[in-house]
Amino acid sequence: AEGLKGAPAPFDKGGVKVALVGYISGGDFFRAFDNGAQRQASALGIDLRVFPGKEDAALQRDQIQQAINLGVKAIIINHGQPEALKDVVQQAVDAGIKVIAFDVNLDNPKVTQIEQSDKDLAEAVLGQALKDNGKAFKAGYVYVPGFAPLDRRDAVWSSVKKTNPGIVEKARWGTVSAPVATSVAAQANAALRANPDITVVFAPWDEFARGTKLAATDLGSGKKLKIYSADVSTADIAEIREAGSPWVATAATNPSVVGATSVRAAALAVAGANPPQHIAIKPVLITRAELDQYDIKTVDELASKLPAFGRSDAALAAWIPAVH
């Protein structure tokens, strides 16, 4: 293994084992997160062991156990069900392993928690929805409780409805069953058919938005509907910019930046440099109008146009090579 010149132990010798244990298997967000994590790990000479999730809490516990047995120095946990993980995470902590949790609240003072400032994210995109549609409209909402980012975004949706009693939530749907977009499309089809007066849908995961768009297009109701989401990928940008697309705005971080930041936080912890206990990566608002105005076709072009989207200043150190 190649060591990293000028880096603190154990990175000076290289081959530091770190595990990345996921919960959700599909979708652009999680693919890009893993790519960013892998790029940052390679730059640090980390031997990253990736355990893909299958939306199976028992499997995820087992994978954390496997990572402990492998002798990893750190474990990054990407989503999951807190109650199924807390004791096995405590075992890792007791074994001296550093734990970084992205979007799953493990409620453990020894664990660094990372999130995408979900409150800001939901406020930004719902602010755009109010700007576009006024303060009174019939809405659809896509939600699955029990996932930290969705619950934080849900708190903002509840508060926006409370402040604007003219917003009426006519239907609610959502599932994390893979493939998510296809499963959501079937639900959205029924909900939109039963509630033809819905004009706005808040779909705060890009897979939710993609499924809802699919249903609206099938029903021919795309023209009178506007979809507001979270997340962005190159495929999402194409869907948002498609002629007549109902998907008009999203608020997002760059998921590969979030993956890279998670690995940097793990590296700092392993080097004894104590990363902050809570790291929040700031999202940006992305509207179809702006994508069209600057003719942005890819996530890389978005990062060049909006530097705040292309990087995070969290968990940096002089010895950690930057990845873009």
Interface residues with ligand SR1 (CB under 6 A)?
A: 24, 29, 103, 116, 147, 149-150, 176, 205, 230-231
Q: Which is nearer to ligand SR1, 55 or 189 (CB)?
A: 55
Q: Is the dihedral of CA 124, 125, 126, 132 positive or negative?
A: positive
Q: For the CB of residue 150, give the shortest distance to ligand SR1 in the complex, in Å.
A: 5
Q: Report how far apart, in Å, the C-alpha atoms of 24 and of each of 27, 54, 103, 186, 256 are.
A: 8, 6, 11, 20, 16
Cα separation, 307 vs 322, whole angstroms: 14
Q: Which is nearer to ligand SR1, 202 or 205 (CB)?
A: 205
Q: Which is nearer to ligand SR1, 43 or 178 (CB)?
A: 178
Q: For the CB of residue 252, give the shortest distance to ligand SR1 in the complex, in Å.
A: 7
Cα separation, 167 vs 192, whole angstroms: 17
Closest CA to 202 of 139, 244, 146, 246: 139
Q: For the CB of residue 40, give the shortest distance to ligand SR1 in the complex, in Å.
A: 18
Cα separation, 255 vs 233, whole angstroms: 9
Q: Which is nearer to ligand SR1, 24 or 267 (CB)?
A: 24
Q: For the CB of residue 60, give the shortest distance to ligand SR1 in the complex, in Å.
A: 14
Write b or e for each residue in 285-309: b if 16 or more Cβ atoms lie within 10 A of its Cβ, otherwise e. Answer: bbbbeebeeeebeebeebbebbeeb
- The one-character DSSP state at 299 is H
Q: Report how far apart, in Å, the C-alpha atoms of 49 and of each of 58, 213, 259 are.
A: 19, 35, 14
Q: Which is nearer to ligand SR1, 63 or 116 (CB)?
A: 116
Q: Which is nearer to ligand SR1, 236 or 246 (CB)?
A: 236
Closest CA to 44 of 3, 72, 78, 79: 3
Q: For the CB of residue 205, give the shortest distance to ligand SR1 in the complex, in Å.
A: 4
Q: Report how far apart, in Å, the C-alpha atoms of 69 and of each of 38, 72, 78 are.
A: 21, 8, 19
Q: For the CB of residue 33, give the shortest distance to ligand SR1 in the complex, in Å.
A: 8
Q: For the CB of residue 218, give the shortest distance to ligand SR1 in the complex, in Å.
A: 23
CB-based contacts of 3, cutoff 8 Å, min separation 6: 11, 12, 13, 14, 45
Q: Is the dihedral of CA 171, 176, 181, 184 positive or negative?
A: negative
Q: Which is nearer to ligand SR1, 28 or 222 (CB)?
A: 28
